Amino acid sequence: MPFLAATQYKFYVDGQDPKTEAFYHDICDRVGLPFDEFSQTFTSQRARVAVSQDFALCRQWGVRSFPTLLLERHGEISLLSTGYVDSETLLNRLSAQLPPVAEHTTE
């Protein structure tokens, strides 16, 4: 989580570009990840394919901005939120998509 938190901060607060390899150098240093290893993975063909597949799924699902929260049930995708929503709104939307939960009894 420290890596993700630092990445989010650097992107959203500092306005830096996470598409560049250099963006991650100080983050790797802070979390104790050897930058050379990170760099090899970041620039690998496998990573490029994975990112391309993720973006294709986003287009297929209609994701156009971040954050977007989707719910998948029985192979169907439902949009819960695009952009910020408060927790009450999100829970109401989620409740509307899911069947009621039966109370569990233990004997």
Q: pTM here?
A: 0.65
The pLDDT, as a whole number, for residue 65 is 86
Which amino acid makes up residue 18?
A: P
* pLDDT higher than threshold 70 for residue 88: yes
Q: Cα(101)–Cα(65) distance, rounded to whole angstroms?
A: 31
User: pLDDT per residue over 62-87, tens digit each?
Assistant: 898 888 999 999 899 999 999 899 99
The pLDDT, as a whole number, for residue 106 is 60
Q: How would you class 94 by CB atoms within 10 Å of its CB: exposed for 0-12, middle for 13-18, buried for 19 or more?
A: middle
Average pLDDT over residues 13-28: 95
The pLDDT, as a whole number, for residue 100 is 79
